Structure 1
């Protein structure tokens, strides 16, 4: 209504809204804090940059080794695809570090066929199976390794490797085919060298610590890395990337799913359908008789009042009472529908002889501090409207001696 819009209606403030929705606010804050903590932890755990990349100065990178090799006249060419590595492999040493295991057996065989000398850091099962049958992973070394145990020039110059080395074992068939180990720790070796089935000279280094920035300067790591990678004028530094992933060869969902999953899923679907039919079948209409759809206004008012009481919305409930009272008072005073509240206050004051400030406080200004004040203000509104109605009634209607209202 226009007269209600013109009145300064007081609505619940920010504090009441926050108190009413504090559960959702707490949940949202918890989710945001959890996301921030997760991002922070991942940033601490996950090293920055690509591991063992030639342009990565982080502790896990290999920029230091690449720059030392370049200063000694070695042309270091960093590539991220198998096609580039194969095209540049002829006459060069190829360094391979496949951290995510992106290369398949055919890819490793193709790379070994194109290269004359291949150095692999942390070889996986596919690389060992293709290039060095009989060489297997064997855990970690207990500490630094100072037993060279081979005649490899690079290993002899290094003399010792730092802690954190991964070990490889060599079985009899691999030893017969020409594979030998360096830097022995028990039955394992930190470095294994030998010829691949295609004739390429392969050096398998169990750990990336020999090449990483943070550990390349420890013990004889740098001497071994430079000796293995700097034996030729050209070095192809190959870190497989997304371009090497062949989506056509990826296993399908059917291949990854156990054989019993499909029949069990079909059986569960049939059981669900049967249960739905069993529990959901009905004979005839759900309700036989027609139900009344009329809801008395009193029930609607009581329901809304309970909602206001449950949420402690005294101000909002009082606003609704005041809007209705102002509208009815304007009709009693024969004021236009768009009359402002001040005009209604003046008309009521003149009709019942009550001071205008008191009338305005009842209609607009006073706010309830509790349930008792709310009830008192509601009663004052009712009394005010009754007084105006009595004052505006014709003079003959004031005679209460004749309850029938007839003239004497």
Structure 2
């Protein structure tokens, strides 16, 4: 009874389709979508997509902003405007407004600062820079940070007297003799280190107040100590305040520094050195595409084949001197072993010992082992054969059998009656087993 062979049905493709892959992972996709939507909603609710407000911005409610102070001024009937350019700030100053200047990025140059100070009757500068001090108050300089709260008013300014004390985080100013003679005075002295506030006359007779730090005006510190009293006293003396924060458009294009002026002097040498290092590394490591891969070969390479392969390489590159050096090193190693010399023996010591053992001339042996250089293949073959003969002679010179056999042949033998030459004590075959 014959049995029919089983039939095989072709199997379909087992690779999942895109729809199946999405169906398997739909739970994770839903979770990820929910997280993304939730993050977007939170950012919109918190104003995360709005551009960050500037430091001391009049509408900035962040800790570094000044919205709290601006709202208090408006509650006291002071109109606070925000000039968007230097021209707008100058126009507001001409109308009698107190100008608050905070040049965070040191945009205004000396001429523009002088124009603003000449026009304004009251100019309050928050955290002045070196350029601002040079242009507005020569002789007034920065002197670091205060050691803590300051309660020494040290001046007759009404706003300072109302404040009585300033919180921690103030920056100090020093006033030299020339500035003092020009009418500049300091308020809120921190021992002998300097003042947190300096006031003096402007170029056109107006009043300029230099506040060392922005701490007095920020939302974060406005309620500490007498910060609010000082800020309101400086800015609330007039019915209008121009809250001016210079931007990039207020800079003089002709005075803009070049890239070479902005970068330190060490940048160019380091850049050139980096380029040279990259080129050197590319030349060094660019000889091959990647690291060598160690692979076990299924065959064993015989030492003789390795030697023949190396010899073919020497022959192909005509490296006769290198080939002869290898032969010499091997020969001197075997000669040193035969003569019981140390493996670290110098070539001169091996040459002298070989000459003494064979009776050859020391100079010729030294030339054979060290000095001679082949000019062609024939000389290389001759030198190799001479090295082989030298090794044989050295080996023969220390072989005891040859010396004993020569001594027996030279000595006369007495084969008298009754004597058996095979029983001679010196005969090699006369020994009993």
* TM-score of the two chains, using structure 1 as the length reference: 0.53
Alpha-carbon distance between aligned partners in 1 of 2:103 and 2:77, rounded to the nearest angstrom: 26
Displacement after TM superposition at 1:253 (Å): 3.1
* 2:62 matched residue in structure 1: 58
SS in 2 for 1:118: strand
1:36-75 equivalence runs, <5 A: 49-75=53-79
Q: Which of 186, 211, 220 is the matching residue for 1:214?
A: 220
Change (3 A) 1:113 1:258: same
Alpha-carbon distance between aligned partners in 1 of 2:270 and 2:150, rounded to the nearest angstrom: 54
Alpha-carbon distance between aligned partners in 2 of 1:172 and 1:130, rounded to the nearest angstrom: 17
* 1:242 matched residue in structure 2: 248
Alpha-carbon distance between aligned partners in 2 of 1:140 and 1:269, rounded to the nearest angstrom: 42
* 1:385 matched residue in structure 2: none
Q: Which of 92, 113, 116 is the matching residue for 1:108?
A: 113
Q: Does 1:131 align with 2:132?
A: no
Deviations 1:255-281 (A, max 9, x none): 4568898899999999x99xx9xxxxx
Between the two structures, name the one with larger relative contact order (CA 8 Å, sep ≥ 6): 1
Change (3 A) 1:13 1:269: same
SS in 2 for 1:68: helix
8 A Cα contact 2:119 2:204, kept in partner: no
Alpha-carbon distance between aligned partners in 1 of 2:268 and 2:189, rounded to the nearest angstrom: 50
Alpha-carbon distance between aligned partners in 2 of 1:209 and 1:75, rounded to the nearest angstrom: 22
Change (3 A) 1:263 1:92: closer
Alpha-carbon distance between aligned partners in 2 of 1:96 and 1:124, rounded to the nearest angstrom: 11
SS in 1 for 2:89: helix
8 A Cα contact 1:48 1:58, kept in partner: no
Change (3 A) 1:265 1:53: closer
8 A Cα contact 1:137 1:168, kept in partner: yes
Q: Does 1:223 align with 2:229?
A: yes
Q: Which of 134, 142, 167 is the matching residue for 2:147?
A: 142
1:73-88 equivalence runs, <5 A: 73-88=77-92
Alpha-carbon distance between aligned partners in 2 of 1:265 and 1:222, rounded to the nearest angstrom: 50
Change (3 A) 1:263 1:110: same
Alpha-carbon distance between aligned partners in 2 of 1:259 and 1:184, rounded to the nearest angstrom: 39
Q: Which of 169, 176, 179 is the matching residue for 1:174?
A: 179
* 1:348 matched residue in structure 2: none
Alpha-carbon distance between aligned partners in 1 of 2:270 and 2:217, rounded to the nearest angstrom: 51
* 2:99 matched residue in structure 1: 94
Structure 1 runs of 4+ aligned residues shifted over 4 Å read: 10-14, 254-270
Deviations 1:341-385 (A, max 9, x none): xxxxxxxxxxxxxxxxxxxxxxxxxxxxxxxxxxxxxxxxxxxxx
SS in 2 for 1:79: coil
Change (3 A) 1:199 1:259: same
* 1:301 matched residue in structure 2: none
1:261-340 equivalence runs, <5 A: none
8 A Cα contact 1:153 1:227, kept in partner: yes
* 1:117 matched residue in structure 2: 122
Q: Which of 214, 233, 237 is the matching residue for 2:239?
A: 233
Deviations 1:271-314 (A, max 9, x none): x99xx9xxxxxxxxxxxxxxxxxxxxxxxxxxxxxxxxxxxxxx
8 A Cα contact 1:62 1:211, kept in partner: yes
Alpha-carbon distance between aligned partners in 2 of 1:65 and 1:266, rounded to the nearest angstrom: 51
Change (3 A) 1:8 1:51: same
> How many residues are treated as equivalent by the alignment?
245
Alpha-carbon distance between aligned partners in 1 of 2:222 and 2:232, rounded to the nearest angstrom: 10
- Larger displacement relative to structure 2 (83-92 or 175-184): 83-92
Structure of higher CA gyration radius: 2
1:4-43 equivalence runs, <5 A: 8-10=12-14
Displacement after TM superposition at 1:155 (Å): 0.5
* TM-score of the two chains, using structure 2 as the length reference: 0.50
SS in 1 for 2:82: strand
Structure 2 unaligned blocks of 5 or more? 1-9, 19-46, 283-433
Alpha-carbon distance between aligned partners in 2 of 1:261 and 1:51, rounded to the nearest angstrom: 31
Displacement after TM superposition at 1:249 (Å): 2.5
